[in-house]
Structures are given as structure tokens and as C-alpha cells.
Structure 1
């Protein structure tokens, strides 16, 4: 009987102790809330909110590989291994471009930024037929060197933009066609620092005033900036006019453009330029904006969408310096984001004060992965 009482007492004691421990619950710390990336569709596809902020960010760019051949696109300014001449075969260029966009709504309007950095590796393209190929640093084609360049870095609040950009003489009026070698007859400069204001009336009318620094030997040499002004009317078709003032030479250049959407598949453009800087002896008649030879030049061309994956693009150009250029290509989207473009170029230079008579053909094969 005593043994039974002892066992029962021990069991009761164990139960009491266990109950006491169970009452003393273990406290587990709550996990920190995870901050997942949220999609921001205010400014278009590809944007997301930077965690913890109201700023939307987009990251993109492309990887490109160009192969150039012929009189125009195959000439290189690289001495051969014997030291008695220059390479004259394929021109090749690889480029990786990284782009960033940001956007945020503020009480003073939309705050935006844009950057574009290009990493190039290639052999150097030399002059051909007494003139440059147009494959120069700062435009949308290879510059023939292995380098890194900051092509865009600007801040914009509402309509006010400051920073590194391409001149409004190009961006506002539009570039010369959807061909790779679009500036054998050069339609203007590219790189510059800007302080500009863009106005959009919302009914098809827009305007721009841009104060620009220029670049290279055309950088301003006083406190007076280069000035670009433009007006645009955009509907189903659009006519654009732009005018620029070069403060170094005190010359004026302008371009007028007409775009026509003929059908859903076919779009056409015609552009004419005129500049007063033909007497600039030290610059060969050129100033920062008027890069073509002579006082006037014309460009025309268009794009035709053959099907969902294939398009045909062409451009013709001619200037008072007797340079005629023709470029045509077929661009094919192999898969979404990967495009191969095959282009044929022809240039004929008549005998003029700017260059001797010559002509030549060239070709470019481009592979580009955009993301």
C-alpha cells in the first residue's frame, strides 16, 4: 500500500512539473516582412519600384556584333604586321550597351533620368574615297575603337532637361531613316551637354528650346551657347521644323521634315537641310550643326513591314557637295529580342571643292540582342 501511494505521488508530481513547463510557452520572434519587388506600369513595360522608395526603375540595353565589308565598310586604319600598308578586309565591332531609366511623380511634375553607357571593342575604321565613313563616336554606329563612352546621362523634371544628351537638332526632328549607315551624307552632330525645355500642348503641337555646349572642336569658346529651337505638329502624319544657331561661327542651320504613314505597313519621310556656314574656311564649310557639304542637303526614304518578323528599310541622300548615298537593308527578328540586319550601301562622290570624284560599295551584317 505504501509503495502504491509512493508511485501515485511520484506520477502526480511529474504531471504537475510538466504542466508548469507547458504553461511557460516559448516565444518565437516574428519574421521580418519580406519586401518583394513590385511592378510599376506607370511609365511602360519593364519598370519596377526600387524597394522602399516611390521611384520606378527600368534596366535594359543590347549586345551587338557588326561585320563590315567593301569600299565603304571594310576599310581599316590598322597597320598590317609587315608595317608597309593597312589591313583591308573585314571591319568588325562588338558593343555592349547598358541603359537605365527612372521615373517618379512629384508636385512639380514627373522626375526622370536616363543613362546609356557603351562598351566597344573593334578594329579601327579609316577614311574611304576621300571622306569619312560616318562610323564616328557618339552616333548609333561603331566608332572603330575599343573604348567606353557615356552617351546619355540626363535629368528631367517636367519639361526641363539638363545633362549629357544628343543635340535637339537630331532628337527633336528625327534621325535619317532606319538604316545602319544613315549619315554618309551627315545630317547633323550628336554628342553635347544640354539645358533644354520641351513643351507639349497635348493637341499635336510641341516645341523645344535647347542651349547646347557642342563637342570637340565645336565646343563653345565663350559664355554664349549654341541654340536650337524647334516646332512640331504630330497627327497621323507629321511635319517637323528645326533651326539651330552656332555661336562659334555665328552661322545658322535648319532642317524641315515630312513624315507620312501611307499604310499600316509603309511609312515614308523626306527631310531637307540648309546652312549658311559654307564660308567657314577652317572647318571645310562645316559648323557644329551643318555637317553636310555645301549649303543644302536632302534625305528621303522609308520602311516597309513585310510581315511580323521582317522589314525592309531604305534611304537616299544628296548634298550640294555632290555626294550621293544609298543604303538599304532587310531586318529579320529571328526570335523576340534577337534581330539580324543585312545592309548594302553605295556612295558616289562627284568632283567638287570638298573631295575628288569616287564611288564605292559596302555591306554590313549586324546581329543584335536587345533586352
Structure 2
């Protein structure tokens, strides 16, 4: 009887409990989550920075490369290197058109202790005007690895204006050539520049280029005020048969920051699209009055007089393993009239994102 009364009393207490309980605790509603929104106004890969109308794109690559050639690794003829690069591109609309900001960070590792992290580019761009640290038109070249028709240093602090349409561009830039080639500069046994006390180089460059159907072209020029010499270059490509034919010619009035390898040079290549994933590019180049790149200088001469010619031939193979992952192999043979011939090359694996 007692047990029965206890069970009935417990049930009654449970039924009556809500009538005597304090106000129920109500959980606060969660704050609304602001999900990342896709920004398709500037192409694929952009998203809105939360809370702003600025669109951001993050991209980059990871590269492993083995270089082969005389003295490439100091006491050995090969050297392995790894690179990681990330690029941030921000865009937003203004009354003058898209305002663009770009930051490129690059980290290079020769081994576990010999590493460096650099600012590879950082610039702002609006209405065709660009200012900051960026690559000049002289960094452009043919698609293979044989051509040697660019500046020793192509990354400058510059101010540039470039007019663009869908198939044409023309621009003018003022470049600080502080780490460029200066006549009278000397180099140590490793090919590293020993700074000269000469002027802080300033140059003016122009670029004109575009496409017309299967043909593309570019004309680039530059005048180095401190060296009082300049260079001009023309390049063109045309789709021909199973590949693309590329031709280039460059002339320099004297060693300067825009071109210093030779007084003149002509280059040609044929990029064969063997399959959807495989491209094979043989190339050749001939140099008139060749003095070599910066690493070949003991002292940068004032002119090209008295120097011999040189020729170069090479082959580059590109293979796309899967989407965003490819392999590249290149071998180059150089035969200067006034120096020893050499064979160099590399093998590269790269994953882009």
C-alpha cells in the first residue's frame, strides 16, 4: 500500500511541476551567418570579402625543379629547388572602372637552410594606370625556353599607362632600373653584381601588341637614360599546321638595362601541339656580337665592339599530367664564338591552383 501511494504521489508531482516552476529558459537565437558569396563580375575564382563589396581571388602554384648544367650546384652539375607562390588579386568597382590591387608572394628553397621569401609583385591598377612593383613588357618572350630576348632584370618599380581593347594594347612606362645593367658594373666569380657607384638608372619603355585572328604580335622598346643606350624588340606568332610558329628579333645600341646580351639577335621556335596534353617546342637563336648575360660579365663593357657571335638550340617538352598539374623538361645548347660551349637544362613539376 505504501509503495502504491508513493508511485501515485510521484506521478502527481511530475504533472504539477510546471505549474510551480520558474519561467522557462529560452535559448538565444544564433546570429545569422554571412556566407561567402561568389563574385562573377571579374571572372572565375573571385568571391566577396565578407562585409564589403570588394572581390578577392587567391591563386598560385607549387613548383619542384631540378637544374642541370656546369657549376649549377656549386661543386656539382645539378641542383634541386622548390618554390611556392601565392597571388592575391582584389577588385572593386569605381567611377573610373575596376580598381585592382595585386600582391604576389614567393618563397624559394634551395635546401632546408638556404631559403628566401620575396615580394614578387605588388601594384595598383585603375583606368589603365598602374603603379608599384611589376614585370615590364621585356619579361615577355616566346613560349619555349630557347629564346634569350629579354632584360636581365624585368621586375621594376614603375608607373605605367596602358590603353587596351579586346585585341590591341599600347602603353608607356617609366621604370626605376636600380638593379639593372650599368656600364662599368663588375661581377664576382659567382656572377653576383658588385654595386657600382654610378647613377640610379631610370628608363622609359613602350609596348604595343595585339592579335589578329591566328596571328599575334608585340613591339617593345626601352631607353636607359643613365647608360644612354636603348633596345627595341619585335615578336610575332602564327598558327601554322599542327603548331604555332614564333619569330623574334632584338637590337641594342649598347649594353643597357633593357637588353645587354648581344648587339642583336634573332630567334625562332615551332610549338607543336602533339596531343591535347603534350606540346613539343624546338627553338634556335643567333646572337650578333654576343657578350652573354649578367652572370657572364667580369665588367659590363661600354659597347659590343670586338665581341664574337654565338648560336643556341634547344628543345622544350610540356606535358599536362592532370588538370592543374604538369611536367616540363628543357635542354639547351649554347656555342659562343669567344667562349666554351655548354649544355644546360631542367626538369620541372608544377601544381597550380
Q: The TM-score by the shorter chain falls in which range?
A: 0.7 to 0.9
Which piece of structure 1 moves more, 95-104 or 145-154? 145-154
Structure 1: segments with no counterpart, 5+ residues: 1-11, 79-86, 124-144, 278-285
1:161–1:195 contact (8 Å) kept in structure 2 = yes
CA distance in 2 between partners of 1:230 and 1:95 (Å): 30
Q: 317, 320, 335: which is aligned to 1:348?
A: 335
Aligned equivalent of 2:350:
368
Paired position in structure 2 for 1:157: 126
1:75 aligns with 2:68: no
Separation in 2, partners of 1:41, 1:149: 30
Give the corresponding residue for 2:232.
254
Note the C-alpha offset of 1:34: 0.6
* Residues 59 and 93 of structure 1: CA distance in aligned 2, closer, same or farther (over 3 Å): same
Q: Distance in 2 between matches of 1:18 and 1:289?
A: 87
Give the SS at the match of 1:102: strand
Deviations 1:251-302 (A, max 9, x none): 1211111121225x5222111111111xxxxxxxx21012222x21112213
| CA RMSD between the two structures | 2.8
Question: Partners in 1 of 2:153 and 2:249 — Cα distance?
Answer: 15
Aligned position for 1:93: 81
Q: Which residue of 2 aligns with 1:235?
A: 212
CA offsets per residue over residues 284-323 of structure 1, 9 Å max, x none?
Answer: xx21012222x21112213222222211123322211222
Contact residue 68 and residue 74 of structure 1 kept, 8 A: no
Cα shift at 1:331: 1.4
Q: Cα deviations across residues 153-200 of structure 1 (Å, max 9, x unaligned)? A: 111112110100112333xxx323233x653x6555312111001101
CA contact (8 A) 2:151 2:257 kept: no
Aligned to 1:288, the other structure's residue is in SS state coil
Cα deviation, residue 15, structure 1: 8.6
Over 3 Å counting, the alpha-carbon distance change for 1:168 and 1:307 in structure 2 is same
CA contact (8 A) 1:104 1:110 kept: yes
For 1:1-371, what aligned pairs fall within 5 Å after superposition? 18=18, 27-69=26-68, 73-76=69-72, 78=74, 87-122=75-110, 146-170=115-139, 174-179=140-145, 182-183=147-148, 186=150, 189-202=153-166, 204-216=167-179, 218=181, 221=199, 225-236=202-213, 237-262=215-240, 265-277=242-254, 286-293=255-262, 295-320=263-288, 321=290, 322-351=309-338, 356=339, 358-371=340-353
| Structure 2 Cα separation of the partners of residues 107 and 62 of structure 1 | 34
Q: For 1:169, what is the secondary structure of its paired residue?
A: helix
Q: CA deviation at 1:20?
A: 8.6
Contact 1:177 1:315 survives alignment (8 Å): no
Output the TM-score relative to the length of structure 1: 0.74
Tell me how many residue pairs correspond in the alignment. Answer: 306
Match of 2:305 in 1: none
In 2, the alpha carbon distance for the partners of 1:229 and 1:314 equals: 29
Check conservation: 1:194, 1:211, Cα contact below 8 A. yes
